[in-house]
Each structure stands twice: as C-alpha cells, then as structure tokens.
Amino acid sequence: MRTVENSVSRTRARNITWLRAAGSASHPSSSPCSQCDAGSMCQIAALGGGGLVSALDTQIGVRAVQAGESIYRAGDALRNLFTPRCGMCKSVRIDREGRQQITGFKIRGECFGTDGIATGRHESEAVALLDMQVCTLPFLRAEAVADALPEVHRGMKRLLSKETSDRENLLMLVANRNAEQRVAAFLLDLGARFGERTANSSLFPLCISREDIGAHLGLTLETVSRVFSRFRRRGLVQWEGRVIRILDMPGLEHAGDG
C-alpha cells in the first residue's frame, strides 16, 4: 500500500513540476496574480488555498475587453475560466422564443465560464458591461492540477456547487416573489458582494441598465423603473451618478422579505 501511495505522490509531483515548467517556459514574465491586490476575494486565486495559482503561475493571462464585447459566446469551446480583474460582465442566454435571459453578473474576483464544463462548450454568452480586464485560466491545465492536488479538486467542486446554488436561488426569486421583493433582493445581494471587497455594502457602482436588471429578474423595463422610483420616494435608495447608495438598509431588507 505504501508503495502505491509513494507512486501516486511521485506522479502528482511530476505533474505539478511539469505544469510549472511549462508555464515558465512559455511566459517568462511574472504572474499577473503577483501584481493583483484582489487577494482572497479572487475565487480562482483562493482555489485549494492558492495551490492552483501556485501550480499554473504565469500561465494565467490577462485580457482587455471593451464594453459590449463578448468574452465568449454560446457554443464556443471551453478553453479558459475567467475572473474580472476590474469591471463587470453579464451572462446571457437566449430562450426558445428568442428572448434574452441574463443569468448573472460577475464582479471583480468572481469566477465565470464554468457553464462549459459539463459539455465542453459554453451554454451562455459573457458580455462586458464596462471596459474591463479579465484574468484567463487555461481549463485543461487547471483540470490537470485538480487531478494532482485534492485540495484544488475540492475547491473546484465547491465553485461549481455555488454556481448551481446561485441558479436555483434565481429561479426561486423569480418564481416566488413580487417585483419589489425581486429588485430589493437583487440590490442587497449586489451590495453584499461589493461590500466584501470595499467593506461598504451600502455604496456601490450600478453600471447595469434597468433593462438588463429586468431581463435578470423576469421583469419589464417599466416595472423596474417604477420599483426604483418607489424605493427612492420612500428614502430607501439614492443615485449618485452611476453609484447607488442604500440609505435605509433595514427598510430595503423588509422590502425584500415582503
């Protein structure tokens, strides 16, 4: 038994050594992760306690994307996992009747692109909402590291589980709550996610159009606008350019709970 365990350990070590060497040979410059201050907020960097980034090192790239540009399209082969270095993007699907459904928004440090893992092709399109930079992680390399390092494998499973949970929560939100509850829950969730990065969940950028918010929550543009107007009149929220400030957190939480 010990001989088998030693053999597995040696194989894993060779795999990681090879991966690191391949990265150093093809990308002699320093890793983008060493120049990024996202830290523990980056879901990719946090995988396996940093083991994934340590193994792939400089194979992680950075790509500039203009507002409105597709990062990948539905049907594209899965080549990379992504995370915003700065900026925000949306994930878009088209239903059978040709209507746009926005399944989520990703902010700095949040991994996306996992929709292609099951079939090898992306099921949705990722579109930049702002000029942004995304970090790219070669999926096949990441998969090889996950096979070699159990802690990275467990981290990737948790990441996929969270994506599934987020989709289920969105379905429940749309199916079981009225318009005010949906919009309030959306703002509270977005504020909490930004708050993890800025320590202020009541003040954050809202560069998402009301039309896109409606496509995400199953509401019309007009309904979203009416809800925002009611929230503003009741002193729950306030806009400062493209920044939203939650003025009454308990009040907004009450609106979300109904």
Chain centroid to CA 121: 18
Higher pLDDT, 9 or 231: 231
Question: What radius of gyration, in Å, describes the C-alpha atoms of the chain?
Answer: 20
What pLDDT does 229 receive?
A: 97
Give yes or no for a contact between 99 and 158, defined as CB atoms under 8 angstroms apart: no
Give the integer Cα–Cα distance in Å for 237 and 258. Answer: 17
Most confident of 55-59, 63-67, 152-156, 161-165: 63-67
Crossing angle between the packed helical segments 150-176 and 179-198, to the nearest 10 degrees: 150
Instruction: Answer yes or no: is pLDDT of 2 > 50.
Output: no
Backbone dihedral angles phi then psi of residue 136, each to the nearest 5 degrees? -115, 130
Instruction: Answer yes or no: is pLDDT of 9 > 60.
Output: no
pLDDT tens, position by position, 60-93: 899 999 999 999 999 999 999 999 999 999 999 9
Q: What is the CATH number of domain 16-163?
A: 2.60.120.10
Instruction: Answer yes or no: is pLDDT of 24 > 70.
Output: no
Percent of all residues in the chain with a pLDDT value above 90, rounded to a whole number: 55
Structure tokens at 237: 């929220």
Higher pLDDT, 255 or 27: 255
Backbone dihedral angles phi then psi of residue 120, each to the nearest 5 degrees? 85, 0
Query: What band does 15 get if pLDDT is binned at 50, 70 and 90?
Result: very low
Higher pLDDT, 9 or 95: 95
Secondary structure (H, E, C), the chain = CHHHHHHHHHHHHHHHHHHHHHHHHHCCCCCHHHHCCCHHHCHHHHHHHHHHHHHHHHHCEEEEECCCCEEECCCCECCEEEEEEECCEEEEEECCCCCEEEEEEECCCCCECHHHCCCCECCCEEEECCCEEEEEEEHHHHHHHHHHCHHHHHHHHHHHHHHHHHHHHHHHHHHHCCHHHHHHHHHHHHHHHHHHHHCCCCEEECCCCHHHHHHHHCCCHHHHHHHHHHHHHCCCEEEECCEEEECCHHHHHHHHHC
What pLDDT does 227 receive?
A: 98
Count CA atoms within 13 Å of residue 208 on its CB side.
28
What's the average model confidence in pLDDT over 187-212? 94
What pLDDT does 31 receive?
A: 67
> Tokens 């950028």 belong to which residue?
205
What's the average model confidence in pLDDT over 204-208? 94
What separation in angstroms does the CA of 2 have from each of 150, 213, 255? 18, 56, 60
pLDDT tens, position by position, 101-139: 999 999 999 999 999 998 999 999 999 999 999 999 999
CATH architecture of the domain with residue range 177-257: Orthogonal Bundle (1.10)
> Tokens 């007009």 belong to which residue?
222
* Neighbouring C-beta atoms of residue 135, cutoff 10 Å: 24
Q: Where are the domains positioned within the chain? A: 16-163, 177-257
What pLDDT does 165 receive?
A: 86
Query: What band does 16 get if pLDDT is binned at 50, 70 and 90?
Result: very low
What pLDDT does 30 receive?
A: 61
Query: What band does 187 get if pLDDT is binned at 50, 70 and 90?
Result: very high
